[in-house]
Every structure is written in structure tokens, then in C-alpha cells.
Amino acid sequence: MISRRDFLKLVVKGAVLGNFSQLITPPLAKAVAAGEIHKLPVVMIETGTCTGDSISLDNIWTPTFSDILTNILDWRYDWIMNQVQGQEAYGILQETYEKMPQEYILIVQGSMIQRDNGHYNHVGYENGKLITGIELVRRIGLKAKYVVAIGSCATYGGPVAGYPNPTQSTGVQDILPERRVINVSGCPAHPDWIMGTLLHLALYGEPELEKFGRPKLFYGETVHNRCPRRSFYDQGIFATAIGQKECLFRVGCKGPVTYSDCPIRRWNDRFNWPIGCNTPCIGCTEPGYPDLMSPFTSHLPDIPFPGGTKVNTDSIGLGVLGLTSVAITGHVVTSLYKGRIQKNLLKTSSKTNHRPALKKAQGFHKYWLKKTNKV
Amino acid sequence: MKHSVKLRKPLLKQIKADNLKGSIIQSQPLWVRIFHWGFAISLVVIISTGLQLHKPAHFLALNFSKVLVAHIVFSWFALGFLALRFTDALIRKDDSLIPKIRDLKHFPKLMAYYFYLRSSPPPARKYNSGQLLIYFSWFLVFLLASFLGLASYWQGEHLIWVWRLVGGFQMIRWIKFMISIYFLATIPVHIYLSLTEDISRLQAMVTGYERRPPKKN
Ligand code: HEM
Ligand code: SF4
Ligand code: SF4
């Protein structure tokens, strides 16, 4: 079996060469055949989601994905992949839950919809009762060996939890505070990130996680730090419109605040990635996406106000500065009109109470102080 | 009209004795002045480079890594000056920059003065309550901005709880931007009032001395 160190190397090498799964599968298949690792049972629950992460995962470069499924992971329950339907399929989930506690991996895709006890999101039917997403995720999650949230919605709420969040959606960690959730964020998550995390779990257990619970091996560095246009940024050469070949910072690139390895891994079988086709990174892997990252073409998020309006941050800044200038100008004019400025300046700048008046003594170059009435 | 006559010493003395207003006293010790101007200059650099980091001005075409370095270096300078002032305050047991209930009580009257409802400002300790509130808020938001700056500088390697608390990098940026706007809105007020209320205070910030009227009993 390959060592963890070699595995981590393959993660990077596979990213650069674009054949991550191809590199990783043969040694793993061997290890399974030799009985060194067991096939990890996996179940996936989809809650408030567009199923984009499944689509993304299915796009992992074949034939290796099927290899992985047949050799390394025991893919048991997944709406997209199920070979059976109805109670039969649901029975597999229940069976995994009952017979393999602390053994299976739970993958959650989609936001946790909390409004009205979660009844806007039904994911199962048991004994004549509709089961909500949060209920099922909590139940299955508490007995899982690992809980992996994939995609922005399952990790941090994502678009489903976008302002004003009418369904009170949130990420899986919030409804499973008892245990650690491994976050594989992204909108969608990259197939390599999902599969790489699962393989790490199968082989070496939990990967090292970063500040927001994401595996460091994929989310350890900002997009900005590895961006091929970084030299443009450092020299201050910026694109003024989307579509130009310079650094896209000025048109809202969120690379500096976004942790992911897109610049080296890229997308669609490493064919291209946003910055490669001259559009800014929109920060899809970060908590708070999309609200904190939109408008995608501006640097800072708009500020939501009660009532559903959003105001651009820069406009608010300019507005505040405008008000200050108006206020100061108004005060200057009024103070000049009322004579306050003149009075204050005279009062505080002259050293004496009044200008001393001098009287020249007759015949001498001598001066006497004139008596005045002022004090 | 300018008089350039040479006066006899006794006469000069006489003039001074019964005519000079108040007396010259030291109001701003050296460290306070060093802090004030050092901090002011650093803050100007921090805020202008910060705004550049926020939205690069095209016509400037500055080297961005240098802008960031300047931003951080001057932040350290500013923190250093602040530390000087803080130590100085501790040594002199100076609490003139800490708002007290007494100061707050004068605040409505001060506002009445600024809105021309009173002809003179209410009595105050070293600084009037309005200035005091601005200064004090500056220290707080400056420390907050520096702290957040440090968190973003470390890129989530240290101070992770700060990232979690505020909700990520984008929020750190946003808060710092708002703090910059706060500075940009209040600094002009401060400058305006220093220039038009009591110009000898401004002089004191340069020379250390100001002329103060004798205390009325
Ligand atoms: C009064 C203190 C400070 C103010 C007012 C300030 C203001 C700002 C502003 C307005 C920005 C641009 C944010 C944006 O992208 O919109 C910025 C960025 C930055 N500041 Fe500061 N800053 C302060 C202190 C510091 C300190 C002490 C450090 C580091 C030790 C620091 C490090 C940074 C870094 C690394 C960035 C770039 C972050 C990014 O990519 O947006 N700042 N600062
Ligand atoms: S394009 Fe984006 S990620 Fe790349 S250097 Fe510019 S700001 Fe950074
Ligand atoms: S480049 Fe940015 S927006 Fe695109 S997938 Fe990567 S993290 Fe998400």
C-alpha cells in the first residue's frame, strides 16, 4: 500500500498532470486485492441541493471512477447512482445504518433546511411518515464513521442559504455539533477534492483539516497565492474588464480570499479554469459564498438592509464621506457667518489682552505705556 | 501695523506683567507630540495604501507587493507610536484620553455649542467630550483593524478563531474597509475643529506649550 506521504505527493502530481484518479487507482486496487484495506461503505443523502456535486463527481475522468467504485469504496446509497428504487433503495440506507454503525461514511450534499422543522425538505418515507433532511442527516450522521459534507450548500449553506435565507438553511456542521464534519466545499466541489478526501479516509483516516473544516491537502492555499497571473498583481497590472489577460483583481477576483487548489488542478479534466478564461474567481469554496462574494465583479459584498434591498459597500463609503464634507462645509459657512471662527482665532492666537499702546516721551527715545481703560 | 522699536527692559516687563493673557504652560509633553505626529503620518500611509489595496487606482499603477509592504510596515510603526503613548500615559498616570462619566455629561452641552445653541463650550478636562470620544474610538478601531490585519496577514494559520468569529477573509476586509471609512469621516472633523476652536492647542501639539487663561475661581 502506498504511504501517506506518497499519497499526498500524488494529490499534487495528479493535479498538475490531470490524472489524479489514474495515478491513485492501481496501487489502491492492489491494496484491496491484498486485503490491506476494506472497502468503505458510503451512503449519500441529498437535502436542499441542485445535485451539482453529483454531476461534478460523475465527471471524474473515466475509467478510473468505476474502478474506484468497484475496488475501493462500497457505494451503497446515492439517488443518482441507485440501481433500485423506492423502498428497496431506502432499505439499503436503513440496513447500512443498522448493520454497519461506526463503519460507513455519510456524504451529505445540500443545505440543511431548518424552517418549520425542516418540512420544506423531505428526503425519505418511513411508516407513513415523511422524513425531513435534517432529521435523516442527524440520525445517520450520529452513527457514521465520518461525515463528509460536499459542496457549498452542505458545508456552509451556500446559495440555498443566500440572503434573505427564507428557508433558514445552514451547513451540516451546524445541525451536527456533536461531531466533526469534514467540509469539501465548492460550487460544485471538484471531483478530485471529493474522491481524494474519500480515499484519504479509506486509507489513512481523517485528513488534516484547516480553519473551516476543509482538508488542507486541497484547501491549504489561496487561489491568489498560486495564480499564474500573480506577477501581474504584484506589479499592479490589472484588467479593466472581464476578458482581458491581466490580473482580474479590479473586476472582483476573489482569489485573494479563497482557499482552493484550482490554479494547479483546474477543471473539466484540467482543461481550463475561470481565471484561465479571463473571468474572476468567485470564491465558491468559502463560507458565506455567494453573499459575501457577490456581486462577483466587485471587490466587497453589498450590504443587506432590512426590507430586502442591498447597497454597494463603496457607495456607502462614498455616501458617508460625502455627508461629512457637507456637514463640515455647512459648519464652516455658519461659523464664519456667525463670527465664531474669527472670534475663536483672535481669542486664541493673540498673546495679549489688548495691543499695548505706547507714548513717546518728548525729546527722548523713550516710550511709556499709555494708560488704557481696557483690562 | 508693525512696531519695531526697541524697548527698555523695565518697560517690557511692565507690558508683560499687566497685559499678557494667562500664562504659558506645558500642555503636551514630548512623547505625546512624537506620538501624535508619528501616528498621524503612519495612519495616512496605512489608510491610503489600504484603499489602494481595496481598489487599485489605475492611473497610479503602483507596484502592489510594495503597497502591501508599506501598508504593513506603517501599521507596525503606528502600533509602535501607540505603544509609546501608552507607556507615557502609564508613567505620567495620564488619564486625559479615557472618557469618564463626567465628560459624557457635558456632551449634550457641547453639541448645543456646535449647533450654535450655546455661545461657549462647556467646561472640560484636557480635551472636550466630543474630541475625547473621537480619540478614544480611534484607539479602539485602530487596534481592531490592526488585529484583523494581523489575522489576514497570517492567512488563517494563526488567530483562526478570529476568522471563525467574523466569518472569513471577506468579512475581515469588509470590516477594515468600514474602519477606514470611519477614520476618513472623523479625521477631517478633528482637523477642522483643531483649526477653528483653539489654535493655541494646535501650537501646543508642535511646541508643547500653550497659553492658558488664569483659572477663574
Ligand atoms: C488602522 C489600521 C489599519 C487599517 C485602517 C487598515 C485598512 C485596510 C484596508 C482598507 C485594506 C483593504 C481591504 C480591502 O480589500 O478592501 C487593508 C488590507 C490589508 N491589510 Fe490593513 N489596515 C490596518 C492595519 C493593518 C495591519 C496592522 C496589518 C498587518 C499586520 C494589515 C494587513 C493587511 C493586509 C495583509 C491586507 C490585504 C488583505 C486583502 O487582500 O484584502 N493591515 N487594510
Ligand atoms: S487574477 Fe485573482 S487570483 Fe489571480 S493574481 Fe489576480 S487577484 Fe489573484
Ligand atoms: S476558481 Fe474560485 S470560483 Fe472557481 S472553482 Fe475555484 S474557488 Fe471556485
Q: What is the pLDDT of residues A98-130, one digit of tens each?
A: 999 999 999 999 999 999 999 999 999 998 999
Asked whether residue A356 is assigned to any structural domain, the reply reads no
Q: Please tell me whether residues B124 and B165 are part of one structural domain.
A: yes
Q: What percent of chain A has pLDDT over 70?
A: 89
CB contact under 8 A, A321 and B192: no
Please indicate whether residue A23 or residue A259 has the higher confidence score (pLDDT): A259
Q: Please tell me whether residues B115 and B89 are part of one structural domain.
A: no
Whether the predicted pLDDT of A375 surpasses 50: no
pLDDT tens-digit map of A305-340: 877 788 888 889 999 999 999 999 999 999 999 888
CB contact under 8 A, B11 and A368: yes
- Is residue A43 a contact partner of residue A76, using CB atoms and an 8 Å limit? yes
Is the Cα torsion angle A164, A165, A171, A175 positive or negative in sign? positive
pLDDT tens-digit map of A22-33: 777 777 767 767
The total of other beta-carbon atoms located within 10 Å of residue A365's CB is 9
Interval between CA A322 and ligand 1 midpoint (Å): 23
Which residues of chain B neighbour A254 with C-beta distances below 8 Å? Answer: 170
Asked whether residue B215 is assigned to any structural domain, the reply reads no
Q: Please tell me whether residues A210 and A240 are part of one structural domain.
A: no
CB contact under 8 A, A233 and B14: no
Cell of B78: 503606528
Whether the predicted pLDDT of B187 surpasses 90: yes
**Chain A residue at shortest CA distance from B187:** A324
**How many whole angstroms separate alpha carbon A77 and alpha carbon B23?**
88
What's the whole-number average pLDDT of chain B?
Answer: 85
B78 by Cβ neighbours in 10 Å (0-12 / 13-18 / 19+) ranks as: buried
Q: Which domain holds residue A335?
A: 310-343
Number of residues that this document lists for chain A: 375
Asked whether residue B164 is assigned to any structural domain, the reply reads yes
What's the whole-number average pLDDT of chain A?
Answer: 87
Residue appearing with cell numbers 497610479: B60
Q: Identify the CATH number of the domain in which residue A274 sits.
A: 4.10.480.10
User: Considering only A23-27, B72-76, B182-186, B207-211, which range has the smallest mean pLDDT?
Assistant: A23-27
Q: Please tell me whether residues B89 and B105 are part of one structural domain.
A: no
Strands A122-126 and A146-150: unpaired
- Is residue A255 a contact partner of residue A280, using CB atoms and an 8 Å limit? yes
Q: Which domain holds residue B147?
A: 99-204
Residue finishing a domain among A219, A249, A264? A219
| Structure confidence at residue B21 (pLDDT) | 67
Whether the predicted pLDDT of A173 surpasses 50: yes
pLDDT tens-digit map of B82-140: 999 999 999 998 888 888 888 888 888 899 889 888 888 888 788 888 889 999 999 99
- Is residue A253 a contact partner of residue A290, using CB atoms and an 8 Å limit? no
Cell of B70: 508599506
CB contact under 8 A, B5 and A358: yes
Q: Please tell me whether residues B40 and B118 are part of one structural domain.
A: no
Q: Please tell me whether residues B64 and B103 are part of one structural domain.
A: no
- ipTM score: 0.81
Whether the predicted pLDDT of B217 surpasses 50: no
Tell me what the mean pLDDT of segment A5-13 comes to. 79
Q: Please tell me whether residues B107 and B41 are part of one structural domain.
A: no
Q: Identify the CATH number of the domain in which residue A105 sits.
A: 3.40.50.700
Taking CA atoms, A33 is separated from A27, A30, A38, A42, A66, in Å, by 10, 5, 9, 19, 16
Q: What percent of chain A has pLDDT over 90?
A: 59
**How many whole angstroms separate alpha carbon A138 and alpha carbon A123?**
13
Asked whether residue A258 is assigned to any structural domain, the reply reads yes
Q: Please tell me whether residues B58 and B104 are part of one structural domain.
A: no
Whether the predicted pLDDT of A361 surpasses 70: no
pLDDT band at A11 (very low <50, low <70, confident <90, very high): confident
- The answer, for A133 touching chain B at a CB cutoff of 8 Å, is no
| Structure confidence at residue B1 (pLDDT) | 45
Interval between CA A248 and ligand 3 midpoint (Å): 13
pLDDT tens-digit map of A205-250: 899 999 899 999 999 999 999 999 999 998 888 999 999 999 999 9
| Structure confidence at residue B126 (pLDDT) | 80
Which residues of chain A neighbour B114 with C-beta distances below 8 Å? Answer: 331
The total of structural domains in chain A comes to 3
Whether the predicted pLDDT of B35 surpasses 90: yes
